[in-house]
Structures are given as C-alpha cells and as structure tokens.
Structure 1
Amino acid sequence: MALLNSPSHSAKVAIHFQTIASSLHSRSSLKQAKLFHTCILRNNLPQHLYAKLLLFCTSPTVSTDALDYATLVFQQLQQDPTIVMWNTMIRCYASSNTPSQAISFYGSMRDRCMKPNNYMFTFIIKACAANSCLFDLHVNMYASAAGGNVEAARSLFDRIRYRTAATWNAMLAGYARKGNIEAARDLFDQMPNKDGQSWHEMVCGYMKIGKFDEAGRLFKGMPVRTLPSWNAMISAYVRASRPVEAFALFRKMQIVGMSPDEITVVSVLPACAQLGALVSGEWIHLYVERNRLDCKISVCNAIIDMYSKSGCINKATAVFKGMRKRSLVSWNTMISGLAIHG
C-alpha cells in the first residue's frame, strides 16, 4: 500500500497519463479513448479530465460508436457534470440523427437545477429545428422557465408554420415576465385566435408594470372574463394601494355572477383594511365560513390581518384560536396585531 502512494509511483502515473492525454487528438481512435478512460478510472484522476474525453468522443472525426460510448461515460459520472460537459453532449446530439436526445439531455440538466447558458440555446434551437414536432413544447419551455431565454424562444416561434394557442400564450407570458410589454402586445395583436389565457397574460403584464388604465381596457374587452383575471386585477390594485378600485371590482364580479375563491378573498381583504370597511370585511368573513374556505390557512391569516387593522383585535384573536393549523405567518400576523393594540 505504501508503495502505491510513494512519490515514484505517483510520478509514473503522471507520466503515463500525460502520454495517453497527449496521444488523444483528432486522429485518435475510440480504442485510445477507452484507454484514456481506463487510466482516469484506475488512478482516480480529476473529474475535469472527463470533459476532454467527452469532447473527443463527440468529435465529428470519430466513429458513430464513440457517441454511444460518450453517453455511457456521461451517465456513469460519479460527480455532477459541469456545464461544459452538458454543452458537449447536447451539441453533439443536436447534430446527430437523434436530435430528440439533445432535448432529453437538456431536460435532465434542468431537473438537476443546472442553468443553461446562451451557448447551449443555439444547440437546443438546432435540435428543435431538426424535429418540428418539438417546437410547441420547447417554445413553452424557454418562455416560461424562470430566467428563460425569450430571444431563443422567439427564434423557435418564428420557425413554426402552424402555431397553437399554447405556443402564442407561452411567448406572451415570456415577454410579460421580462417586462417587455410592447413585444407582448405586438404579438397579441397578431394572434389570430385569442383565448382566455391570452387575455389574462396581457392583463397581468400591464398590471405588473403599473399600466392600470391599459390593463383595465383590455380586461373590459375580454370576451369572457375568467376568475384568474378578476383575481389578478384585484390583487394588483391592492398592491398599488388603490383599494377603491379593488373593492369596486370585487363587488362587480359578484354582480355578474362570478363566485370569489380563496385567492379572491386573500386579495381583497387588505382593501377592506385600507378603506376601513369593517362591514364589508365581516361580510367576506361570513362568505368564507359559508363556503368552507376557512380551512385555508392563507384565508384565515388574511382575516386576522383585516380585523387587526380594523381595530377588532378580539375578532382577530377568535379567528386565530379557531384555526386547526397555523403557519409562521399566522403567528406573526397575530403578534403584529396585538402589538398594534398594545
């Protein structure tokens, strides 16, 4: 054992490895690559050397079997692959006869919470271009992913001949989340068959950047106003400290026969507190109990907060004590309410 760890042994390993590494070039064979791999495994050499092996095996000058071997090596890595390794595999499969494998590798990478770089997106676009049935799926993937590359998504979108509503909506959402409402509106105006989701994305996009008047005009123009759109409008008005508009919208949704859900309740209760509209807050509390929404922790928290800020600490305490389960927010809301009232 001591002999294996001796300086002379280490020196021999280093010399042996350097010999193999230097021999791995564009004219090398798969056999030499396997020898290189064996050397790494036997001597427990650093992980970064696998990048060189993968790069060689995915080179266009090597046989087709080398890509299969590269995939095997990649799948047997004992440590998480680096972004360089992911790029290598995705790049090669994007140019192969099985471009769908590039998408599969991309999905696996995202499952491991690895973030793609712009270099990778060029390969993904190429893979999708080679397989048109993947277009809808991956425009959606790019545009909706947190921190997604909307430019890459648009590049895919522009290549699609037959676009579904889901594809259009994915692009609208992607632009809206990036704050590029002008691009979203331009696309929205071009959209031949808008559905409820299309209108919803645009309304949310305008509300997000504070353009309430434009959001309101779109909302009024919706062929069918969905519950999520009502909720989005109410919530945005409350966040913008415009409780009058929020509560007016809440009343209107009931007039037109739209039943509030727990999200509506949580959104509108702060408006009651801001307006000092205790009677309205009590009516909402009664509505919650009748519709069994009081089992939702978030709803109870909102009611506690409303009563506390409306000067009814006893009612807030009663709601708190009646909760079967309480979150950290429940405790903090109750403590804050008690602090306000001394």
Structure 2
Amino acid sequence: MVVVMMTTPSTLPSKTPTPITSIPYFPSNPKSIILYQCKTLMDLNQVHAHLIKTRLIHSPAVAGNLLESAALILPDAMDYALSVFRSIPQPNPPAYNIIIRGLTLHHSPREAILLFKHMCQENVVSPDDFTFCAVFKACSRLRALLEAQQARVHAKAVKCGLMSSELVENTLIHVYAACDAVEVARRVFDKMPERGIVAWNAMLAGYAKSGCWDEVVGLFLRMKEPRGVNVNDVRFDDVSLIIALSACGRLANLELGEWIGEYIEANGRSRNLTLMTSLLDMYGKCSNVDKARVVFDQLERRDVVAWSAMISGYSQANRCSEALDLFHEMQKANVEPNEVTMVSVLYSCGVLGAMETGKWVHFYVRRKKLKLTVTLGTALIDFYAKCGSVESAIEVFEKMPVKNVFSWTAIIHGLASNGEGKRALELFHLMKEANIEPNDVTFIGVLSACSHVGLVKEGRAVFLSMSKDFGIKPRIEHYGCMVDILGRAGFLDEAFQFIKDMPIEPNVVVWRTLLASCRAHKNVLVGEESFRRITELEPAHSGDYILLSNIYALVGRSEDALRVRSQMREMGIKKSPGCTMIELEGVVHEFFSEDDEHSHSKEIYMATEEMIRRIKSVGYEPNIADARIDAEEEDKVVSVSHHSEKLAIAFGLIKTKAGATIRLSKNLRVCTDCHNATKLISKVYNRKIIVRDRNRFHHFQNGSCSCNDFW
C-alpha cells in the first residue's frame, strides 16, 4: 500500500479529517512501491499520477513496472494497462512483452497475437526472445497452430536469429505439442545443439498429452543413457519422473516403473507427495496393488489425489471390498472425495451390489451441487444398472446435460442386462436420432437386448447394420450375441450353422452360449457337439459338465447325467464355490454355500429352515441335481437348501423391513433350484428380490422372474 499522510487542521478538531494523499518520499527506482505495495487500482492511480508529475513515467523501466502491476499482478486492471501502454510514445520490447503476456493471461490470446503482428508490421521495435516466448504461449492458449506457422511467428524468430535461444526453443516445443503437432515439436527438439531439462520435459509432456506413451518411455530411456564426460548430463527432475511413471502405468511397464521407484528412494525424492502418488498410481495400473498400498501407507501426508489413486488401484484390480474399506477410512480422515474417487467407488459398488454406499455417493454429488459430468454421470448409470435399479439409472441419464457414446452405451447395456430389451432398443433409436454414432460396444448391448427378449428379427437387422451402416467389423462378442439370440429363440440348428459359417474361429464362450441354449430347449445332439467343441479348445470347466448333465437329466437320461457327474469327480473337477453378496447398512456380507462363518450364522440357518418350510407348503421341491457333487445322497437335499443365495436371502429377510427389496450379487449362474425357490420366496414373503448373476439380472416378484425362466 502507498504511504498516506493525513493532516487535520487544528482549528477544526471536532470534524472528520479529510485525507490528503501525499508521497513524502518517492525513490528514484520506485519498483518496490509499484509491484509490491500497490494492492488496488486506486493505489496504482495514485502512483501513476505521481510518476506523471515527476516525469518518471518517461523512464522505460518505471513504465514497465507500472504495466506489469496492471497487466500481470492486479486483478481486473488489464484495460488500465492498455491505456498506459497506448500513452507511451515508443514502447520498448519489454513493454510489448508485458502486454502480450497480460492479454494471454486474461484470456485474450487472439488480441495478443494481433499486437505481435502490429509490432512487427510497424517496424518500430524488434521483438526479442521473451517476445517470441510470450506470443508462442498465446498461440498455445489459442491452440493456433496456423498462427504459429502461417503468421510466421516461427519464421520471424528464425529471421531475427533467435532460434538459437534455448528459451525460445523450449517454448516452441511446448506450443507445437499443445497444438497436437508433436512431430513438429520433435523436429525442433532434435535440432537443438544442447538440451536442458526444460526441453526434455517439454517433449515428454507433449508426447504424454498426445497419448504417445511408447514415445514417452523411449525418450525417457534416452535421458537415462550414460553420457560422455564432455556432454552435459541431464538429471531427472520430478516432472520427468512423474510423466515417465504415467507412461509406465498406461503401458503396464512394471520393470521401468520399479526402476524409477528405486531411483526416487536412492535420490531422496520420496518427500514429494505428487511424485509418490504417481508411483503408487503406476503400481496400481500395473496390477501390483499390494506394492501400491505399501507406498500409500508410507506417505507422511495423504491428499485426495493419493486416496483416489489407491482406491482406483483396488477397483481396477477388482478388489472392490478393499476399495470400499479404504473409502470408508478416507471419510473417517475427513478428506473430501473428488470425481476420480467417486467414479472408482461407484464402480466397486456396482461390482459388489453395494447399493447403499453408491446411493450415498449420488447424494453427496447432489448435496455439493457438483456438475454431473459425462464421466461421473456414466459411472452413476453403470452403478444403478448393476444394482438392478433401472429407473434410477434412467433418471440420471435424463438429467445429464451432456451425453456421449459411452453414456448411451451404458444405459443401453443396463437396460439389456435387466431384461428391458424393448426400452434398450428405443434408446438405441433415440441415440441415432441424436446423431451419436454407436461404437462396437454399443452394438453388444443392443444385440444383448434383442437376445433377452427374444427379438430375433430385430437382432438379425442390427447385426447386419453394424458393418453396412456404420462400418464396424463384428468381433467375437457380436457373433456370440447372435448365437445367443438364435439359441434362446430355439433356432439351434441355425445357431450351429451360424457358428460354422463365422469368418473368425469361434472361441469357447460361443460354444458355451450354444450349450446353455441346448439345456433350455433340451437338445441333446447339438448339446453334445457343443460340449465336444469346448473340450477341443480347452479343458471343460465345471459349468460345462453341469450344463451337459442337466440336458441329460431334463430328457430323462438320468444314467448319462450321473455318468457326466462321475466324470467330473474322477477328473477332480470341482464346481466353483458359489458366493452371494448382500449389502446391509453400508456393509457388504459374503455368503458361501453351506457357510457357517458368519457372525449371525445360527440365526441365518434358523431363518433358512423356516423359509424352506414355507415355500415347500406352496409346492417347492428341492432339485438335488444342483447339490454338491461330492455330497452323499441323503445330504443332497440339505446341500441345495444351504446354497449361498438362499442363505443371503434369509439374512436379508431377517435384517430388512417387511416389503423392502432384497438385492443380491452372485459370482456364478443361478442354479435351477435357487431360481425356482426364489420365485416362490418372492411370492410367500411379498418381497421383490433382485439377483445379479454372472450373466444377467433376475427380478423376482409375485412368483415370477423377469428372465421368463430362460437364463
């Protein structure tokens, strides 16, 4: 603040004094007053008036200080800076540089470039290296590659003999990279006789911005190479290491990432939070999440970026329970989540079916009035769809201000997996009307929608439309969807022929899809052939044997069914343990078949026995074909009664209010016995039960299922 002396006439002591501004001492070099004591535009006005009065304004250095204060330091003083600049008879290069920088800073890069053109056209003053740095940055802000080239900014720098300036070259690399001309930036970089760390980092950053991760690693390895004693050795700084770690994460280059980790430790860089967060993020992206956790636990301070990186690492590794546990720790630490945190948490909630935690995230977004970005909105859609809450998913979709192909694809997939095939197709048509071009993943969702509701004609049309109308070459997943569409509808021979005519080699998933359809339609011949083709490609797993055994059992060939089961036992093939998850009051509970590890185990088994007794009274009969293979004959009924799904439902019945929806998530396909039992439970207890199995959703209500008994 400018020093102000106030004088009050002694004859009027009772009146409020009128302040009179005076500057008793004004140094010959008033730089400190102008740059550090002027806090407002009024302060600057006072100083400016004094400079005019004392004619110090005619000093280029003093005028430059005044311009710098108005253009670069004080807020909302750019117009004042321009008026001062225009009043200078012959501005020197530093004055031009300040105004060009100020215009760029205040979001007027186009005016900055125009001023540079004027400066060159008038030939009043020659630009210096700082001028070119300033105008290059203006081009970068404007992403004006044409300005940088066609306006001959670069050519002008060459003509002025300033391309040998390291400062200009570094800035030029930056602007070309910012304008997506990374190849041109590399040519400038390669022509530099000497390159300092700024040049290397500018080139690394340019490659990273363009997603050229292999080039980042290649350039970093060049930095890492030993050099001769007469060559300037380039030492990595934190910026170099952070960019290189990002590339290692993207490319899953754990070897180089670990070397960087060792370098950080050996050179005492581990106190840099940003650098250490990049290291743990790299470990997470390289699927070494335990090493990432070691780094996380060693951090002296953890900001939201560090917490988010660790949670993201767990979610990407599908260790979703640990991701949610860490998120709860983050809340206890009073660290507010950001968008990255919430997207990772929503993904984990979707995988686990953790509805309450995901709803809390959505509530947080609304309470904080956070912008519903494409990324966050799409994550919410995916979460609600994976929890079977279709209406909530649609509500989020409709409220999103901006939607891209991923948002549309997420809602189409969500509707398809929840048995809302017709609504999914309606949205697909709306998507095309909105001129959002579908991608290959979109078509997987649309074909799945046709499959789940038996729309064979529509499915055929969509499949042909992929390549004909959108130029998308079908992948193995699209062929698998077509096999499912045909097989579900009972066109097994056509599905079999479709597989034989495929232009690409069918995989086991395609044959398993056909095998599942054979079970639904009791087709032994095609089922046996499908099973044979599976075993040719890889050893059949337990699910394949069980499907074939079920086909035999459904057509009355019990001896063959038992033979298949015996083969499983002899070959040591065990059925994967069924695991069902249910979230209650923010805690995810896991149940395994015949599990007695739960803290409420005794209460749960009592509720299960009561549940089985009640559904038996309305016609339920256990299907012992779904019992454990190694169970004794007399224990088979007990075995199927204690499947993980039934235990989880019983726990939900005793821990939730009457009439509340029960939501489950299961790691395997729902077995026939549990499917039949759950239909009756929904009727007897008047509950809606939503089960997500490995393939799809089942919405049980009033004794029926949304899958129409086909899954």
Rounded Cα–Cα distance in structure 1 between residues aligned with 2:265 and 2:275: 10
Specify which of 265, 270, 277 is matched with residue 347 of structure 2: 270
2:233 is matched with which residue? 159
Q: Is the 8 A contact 2:173 2:185 kept in 1?
A: no
Quick one: structure 1 residues 177 and 198, their matched pair in 2 at CA, closer, same or farther if it must change by over 3 Å? same
2:194 is matched with which residue? 127
Q: Is the 8 A contact 1:246 1:271 kept in 2?
A: yes
Q: Is the 8 A contact 1:100 1:127 kept in 2?
A: no
2:181 is matched with which residue? 113
Q: Is the 8 A contact 1:237 1:245 kept in 2?
A: yes
Specify which of 196, 200, 209 is matched with residue 139 of structure 1: 200
Comparing 97-106 and 319-328, the one that deviates more: 97-106
Q: What secondary structure sits across from 2:291 in the alignment? A: helix
Residue 333 (structure 2) pairs with residue 259 (structure 1): no
Quick one: structure 1 residues 313 and 294, their matched pair in 2 at CA, closer, same or farther if it must change by over 3 Å? farther
Tell me the alpha carbon deviations over residues 118-152 of structure 1, each in whole angstroms, 9 at most, x when there is no partner.
9986644x422xxxxxx332232244433421123
Specify which of 410, 418, 422 is matched with residue 341 of structure 1: 418
Specify which of 170, 188, 195 is matched with residue 264 of structure 2: 188
Specify which of 211, 215, 220 is matched with residue 150 of structure 1: 220
Residue 322 (structure 2) pairs with residue 245 (structure 1): yes
Rounded Cα–Cα distance in structure 2 between residues aligned with 1:239 and 1:330: 20
2:567 is matched with which residue? none
Quick one: structure 1 residues 282 and 160, their matched pair in 2 at CA, closer, same or farther if it must change by over 3 Å? same
Quick one: structure 1 residues 262 and 307, their matched pair in 2 at CA, closer, same or farther if it must change by over 3 Å? same
State the Cα distance separating 1:284 from its structure 2 match: 1.7
State the Cα distance separating 1:323 from its structure 2 match: 3.1
Q: Is the 8 A contact 1:143 1:153 kept in 2?
A: no
Q: Is the 8 A contact 2:347 2:383 kept in 1?
A: yes
Q: How do 1:58-137 and structure 2 match up within 5 A?
A: 98=165, 102-103=169-170, 106-107=173-174, 110=177, 111=179, 113-115=181-183, 123-124=191-192, 126-128=193-195, 135-137=196-198
Instruction: State the structure with bigger RCO (CA 8 A, min sep 6), 1 or 2.
Output: 1
Rounded Cα–Cα distance in structure 1 between residues aligned with 2:414 and 2:286: 31
Q: Is the 8 A contact 1:320 1:330 kept in 2?
A: yes
Q: TM-score, normalised by structure 2?
A: 0.31
Rounded Cα–Cα distance in structure 1 between residues aligned with 2:186 and 2:402: 45
Rounded Cα–Cα distance in structure 2 between residues aligned with 1:139 and 1:156: 16
2:384 is matched with which residue? 307
Residue 288 (structure 2) pairs with residue 211 (structure 1): yes
Q: Is the 8 A contact 2:373 2:400 kept in 1?
A: no
1:331 is matched with which residue? 408
Q: Is the 8 A contact 1:121 1:152 kept in 2?
A: no
1:224 is matched with which residue? 301
State the Cα distance separating 1:260 from its structure 2 match: 1.0
State the Cα distance separating 1:294 from its structure 2 match: 5.2
State the Cα distance separating 1:181 from its structure 2 match: 1.5
Percent sequence identity over matched residues? 25
Q: What secondary structure sits across from 1:207 in the alignment? A: helix
Quick one: structure 1 residues 142 and 340, their matched pair in 2 at CA, closer, same or farther if it must change by over 3 Å? same
Quick one: structure 1 residues 117 and 323, their matched pair in 2 at CA, closer, same or farther if it must change by over 3 Å? closer
Rounded Cα–Cα distance in structure 2 between residues aligned with 1:274 and 1:305: 10
Quick one: structure 1 residues 154 and 172, their matched pair in 2 at CA, closer, same or farther if it must change by over 3 Å? farther
Quick one: structure 1 residues 156 and 122, their matched pair in 2 at CA, closer, same or farther if it must change by over 3 Å? farther
1:291 is matched with which residue? 368
Alignment coverage as a number of residue pairs: 247
One-letter amino acid matched to 2:223:
A
State the Cα distance separating 1:261 from its structure 2 match: 1.5
Q: What secondary structure sits across from 1:115 in the alignment? A: helix
State the Cα distance separating 1:201 from its structure 2 match: 1.4
Tell me the alpha carbon deviations over residues 46-102 of structure 1, each in whole angstroms, 9 at most, x when there is no partner.
xxxxxxxxxxxxxxxxxxxxxxxxxxxxxxxx9xx9xxxx9xxx9xx99x9645565
Compare the two structures and name the one with the higher helix fraction.
1
5+ long unaligned stretches in structure 1: 1-77, 129-134
Q: Is the 8 A contact 2:174 2:202 kept in 1?
A: no
Q: Is the 8 A contact 2:173 2:186 kept in 1?
A: no
Larger Rg: 2
Rounded Cα–Cα distance in structure 2 between residues aligned with 1:248 and 1:285: 18
Quick one: structure 1 residues 153 and 174, their matched pair in 2 at CA, closer, same or farther if it must change by over 3 Å? farther
Quick one: structure 1 residues 170 and 311, their matched pair in 2 at CA, closer, same or farther if it must change by over 3 Å? closer
1:316 is matched with which residue? 393
Q: TM-score, normalised by structure 1?
A: 0.61
**Cα RMSD (Å) of the superposition?**
3.6
Q: Is the 8 A contact 2:385 2:414 kept in 1?
A: yes
One-letter amino acid matched to 1:191:
N
Q: Is the 8 A contact 1:316 1:334 kept in 2?
A: yes
Tell me the alpha carbon deviations over residues 257-291 of structure 1, each in whole angstroms, 9 at most, x when there is no partner.
11112221111111111111112122222112111
Rounded Cα–Cα distance in structure 2 between residues aligned with 1:254 and 1:159: 46
Q: Is the 8 A contact 1:234 1:250 kept in 2?
A: yes
